[in-house]
Amino acid sequence: MPSEDTKERIAKVVDVGRVRAPVALERTTPHETSAILLAQTILHYAWIPMIIYVGFTRSNPQPSLIKLISPLA
């Protein structure tokens, strides 16, 4: 079973509509809990770089890859 701290962290992420997360957590396995926390961490650290990448690749004129990687190029 996940710890109380883990349940609270997931409750903040998984709270959907009127269904409270602690009710749903009683039915989740530790693997599901770990997957949710991993997805939260990946989304947290990858969101801004993804937005920058999409902005560079969808702009017109499209900048070169070196300008995406190095701000001084």
> What is the domain count for the chain?
1
Per the structure, the complete domain to which residue 49 belongs is given by 4-69
Cα 47 from Cα 31, distance rounded (Å): 24
The pTM of the whole model exceeds 0.85: no
For all residues of the chain together, what is the average pLDDT? Answer: 76
From the list 15, 31, 32, the residue with the least C-alpha distance to 23 is 15
pLDDT per residue over 9-21, tens digit each? Answer: 777 766 554 444 4
The predicted model gives 64-68 an average pLDDT of 74
**Residues constituting the chain:** 73
